[in-house]
Chain A
Amino acid sequence: MKKPLTRWSAAIAATALVISACGSDDAAEPAEDTETEEAAETEEEASDEGDAEASDDAAGAACGTDATKVGFLYVGPKDDFGYNQAAFEAATEMGERLDVEIIHAENVPETVEDAVPVMEDMIAQGATIIFPTSFGHFLPGVEVAAANPDVCVVHQGQLEASLDAPLDNLGTYFSSVFEPVYLAGIAAGAATETNTLGFVYAFPIPQTLQNISAFQLGAQTVNPDVTTIAISTTDWCDPAKQAQAAQTLLDQGADVLTQHQDCTKTIIETAEAAGAFSVGYHYDASELAPNGWLTGSDWAWTDLYADIVSTMQSGGFVESEYNGDYRIGYSDVDAPFVAFEPSTIGAAVDEETQALMTEALDQFFVDEDGDGVGDFAVFSGPLADRDGVERLADGETPNYVELDGVFSDPWLVAGVEGSLG
C-alpha cells in the first residue's frame, strides 16, 4: 500500500510541475508532500483558477484527468473461474479503493463491430478511462482511442508497439504470468507418473506460447523425461470443446492438465473426474478439484489497476510508463507490486516439491548486480525452439516487452508436442 501511494504522489508532483510550468502565475502551487486527495483537490483548483489557455493545454495533454467513471470490457462472463473473473473482481476493488464508478460490460466479442459501440456507450455515460481487457479487444480499443483523444484507453495484453503510430491516449500493460506458470510446471513435473502433461490453449499468441513453454521448462527442471502436449480449442471459452480436448489429452496419457482458457471450470472438472491432476490458471479454482489440485497462476490486478487509474486522474498518463507497453513481473525486483498472487498449493504436492517451488520463486528476486532486474529469467539464451532453430542467442535475456516480440512468430520449446499455428 505504501509504495503505490509514494508513486501516486510522485506522479502527481510531476503533473503539478507540468501544470505550474504552463499554467498562469496565479495558480496555486501544490505542495509536494501533501496527501494524494489533497493534492488532487489542489490541482483541480489550479486548473479551475487557471486561464483558458492552461485548461486547454491540460485537456489536450492528459486524457482521463479527474476521471470519475471507468469502463471495463470483458470478453466473457464475470464469474468464469478465470481471466474475466480475476479482472472483474480487481476492477470492482479498484473502484471501491479510489471511489470511482466502474461501468462493467461482460461478454463483449473481440470485433470492432461489437466492442467499439460498447466503449462509445461507456464514453457517452461519462467514462474517460477504458480498460478493454481481452487480447482481441485491442484493435477496437485503438479505434476508440483515436476517435476520443480525451479518453484514456489501456489495453490488457497486446503491445502498442505493434501499431504503426503510437497514440498519446493509448497504453498497454500485462504481467509476466509465465513466471508463476513456470513454478506450477515444477509441481506438474514432479506429480506426473506418465511423464506427460496436457495443455489446452485457445490461440497461438505470445502470452500463450510463453505459458506453454514456461510450463515445460519448469517441469523439466525436476523431471528430465517430461513432455507437454498442447492442443488448441481456437476459442477462449467453448466448454464442450474443452471437455473433448481434455479427454483427448487424457487419452494420450496426460495425467496433469492445465490450460490457457478464459473459463477454466470444465477442464479442471474433467481432470478431477478422471483422477488426473489439475494446474489452474487465472483464478484459484482449487475448490473444483479437492483431490487433484496442484497449484495455479492467479491474477491480482487491483494494485496495478489502481495505480494506472490514479496516474490518469492526476493527469500524468502521457508522461507515465503506462503510456506505452508496460510489463511487470517477478524480475522487477523494485516494483511495488506484481499482478499475481500465490495460488493454493494442493495436498498432492509433497513438501520436497514445495521446497523446490519456493527455491525457484526466490531465485527470481536475486539481483546481485543491483540493476533492479532479477538475474534469473525463464527465457534466456541460448534457447532453441523444438525444431532446433535458435531463438535466443547465448547470453541474450530479453525483457518482458521484447519477449512478446520474440514470440510474435509462433514457436515452442523442445519437449512440447502438438500442432502449432
Chain B
Amino acid sequence: MIEAICIGAVRGGTSIVFASLGETVTERSGVVNLGMEGSMLAGALAAYAVGIETGSVWLGAAAGMAAGLALSLVHAFLVLVRGANQIATGLAVTFLGLGITALYGQSYVSQGVNAFEVVPVPILSDIPFVGAVIFNHDPLTYLSFVAVPLLWWFLFHTSTGLRLRASGEGPGVLSAMGISPSASRWLAISAGGALAGLGGAQLATAFARTWSEDMVAGRGFIAVALVIFAGWNPLLTIVGAYLFSGAVAFQLELQANGTGISIFLLDAIPYVVVIVVLAALSRRRRHAAPAALDDVFQVDATLV
C-alpha cells in the first residue's frame, strides 16, 4: 500500500511539479501569476492537438510549453507594461485559458493521441520499492526529476538567476545599479508559463491520455499554493507536489480498502493536507518570500 501511494504521488504529481516550478521562478522575480491554471490548460490542449496532428508526442510537449508561455505573456504585458493588478490579471488569464481551450478543444475531445509511454529505466527499475516508485515512469516525469535541481542551480548559482532573484528581493537596488528588473521579470513569467504548459502537456499526453474541458481541475492553483509551502525553493516544490498527489492516492487507497469513512470526506483529504501544511508553515515561510511580493497585495501596487 505504501508503495502504491508513493507511485501514485509521483505519477499524479508530475504535472503539479512543473507548474509549481514555474510559479517559483515567477514569484522569485517579484510577480505572482495566478494564471498557471490557464497556462496548464493551454499546454494540455496544445500538446494533445499537436501530438495528434504531427504524430509526435515530443513536438506536442514543445507546443505545450509554447502555449503555456504564450498565455503567460498576456499576464506579463498587463502587469509589466500596463501596471495592472497582478491578482486580477492572473485570474483573468486563467479564465481566458479556460475559455480558449474549451472552444478550440472541442474537436479533440474524442480523438486518440500517441501518448508518452512508461519507459522503465534498465536495471534501476528492478530495485525493490525505489525502482517502482522512481524508475518506472514516462519520459516527462524523468524530465521533472532533472528540472528541479537544474532550476535550483539556475536560481542560486548563475548570474542570470541572481538578477532574477534580485528583481524579486530589491528591485530598487537593481534599478539603482542601472539594471532593469523588468527584463528579469519578462524572462521569469515566460519561463513560468512554459513550465506550467509542460505540466499540462504531461497531464494530457502522459498521465490522463485525453483532452477534456477544464481537465486541469484546480491543479494550477494547488501549484501556486505549494510554492509558499516550499518557501520559494525549487527543491522543496517537488516534495509539496508529491505530498498533495500522494494524499490523493492515499484517499483512493482508503476508499478501495473500505474504511467506512464517507467518500466525500476522503476526497477532501488532499486539500485539507495543503491547508494544514500552509497554516503550519506560513509564519515560518514569511521571511523566505521575495520582498517585492509584499507590494502585490497593496492596492495601488505597480511594478513599473
Q: What residues make up the interface of A, taking CB atoms closer than 8 Å to B?
A: 76-81, 85, 106-107, 204, 229, 231-232, 234-235, 237-245, 247-249, 251-252, 263, 265-266, 269-270, 273, 287-288, 417-421
Contacts and interface: CB of A to CB of B under 8 A. Distances in A.
Nearest to A245: B252
Contacts of A79: 106, 109-110
Nearest to B261: A419
Contacts, number: 124
A266 B210 contact: yes
Contact of A234 (B15, B112, B263): B263
14 contacts: A76-B212, A229-B256, A234-B264, A239-B208, A248-B253, A248-B255, A252-B4, A263-B109, A263-B210, A265-B110, A265-B112, A419-B254, A419-B259, A419-B266
B79 interface: no
Which of B255, B258, B259, B261 lies at the interface centre, i.e. has the most chain A CB atoms within 10 A of its CB?
A: B255
A223 B255 CA distance: 24
Contacts of A249: 256
B209 A231 contact: no
A298 B114 CA distance: 26
Contacts of A241: 217, 248
Interface residues of B, number: 44
Given A231-B255, A419-B260, A240 B15 contact: yes
Interface of B: 4, 7-8, 11-12, 15, 102, 106, 109-110, 112, 115, 117-118, 203, 207-210, 212-217, 219, 245, 248-249, 252-264, 266-267
Nearest to A419: B255
Which among A78, A229, A251 has the highest number of chain B CB atoms within 10 Å? A251
Contacts of B248: 241, 244
Contacts of A204: 263
B267 A234 contact: yes
A107 B214 CA distance: 10
B51 to A, nearest CB: 14
Contacts of B262: 419, 421
A240 B252 contact: no
Contact of A240 (B7, B207, B261, B267): B207
Nearest to B9: A244
Contacts of B8: 244, 247-248, 251
B72 to A, nearest CB: 21
Given A234-B263, A270-B209, A417-B256, A239 B215 contact: yes
A240 B102 contact: no
Contacts of A240: 12, 15, 203, 207-208, 215-217, 219
Given A265-B209, A418-B256, A80 B109 contact: yes
A418 B258 contact: yes
Contacts of B253: 248
Contact of B252 (A244, A270, A273): A244
A251 B7 contact: yes
A218 to B, nearest CB: 21
Given A80-B109, A248-B252, A288-B112, A232 B267 contact: yes
A94 B224 CA distance: 47
Contacts of A419: 254-255, 258-263, 266
Nearest to A229: B256
Contacts of B4: 248, 251-252
Which of B209, B217, B219, B260 counts the most chain A CB atoms within 10 A?
B209
A83 B210 CA distance: 16
Nearest to B108: A79
A244 B255 CA distance: 13
A399 B259 CA distance: 32
Contacts of A266: 208-210
A239 B256 contact: no
Contact of B249 (A235, A248, A420): A248
Contacts of A76: 212-213
A111 to B, nearest CB: 14
Contact of B210 (A78, A85, A265): A265
B212 A239 contact: yes
B114 to A, nearest CB: 11
A63 B214 CA distance: 36
Contacts of B102: 107
Residue among B12, B215, B249 having the largest count of chain A Cβ atoms under 10 Å? B215
Contact of B213 (A77, A81, A231, A245): A77
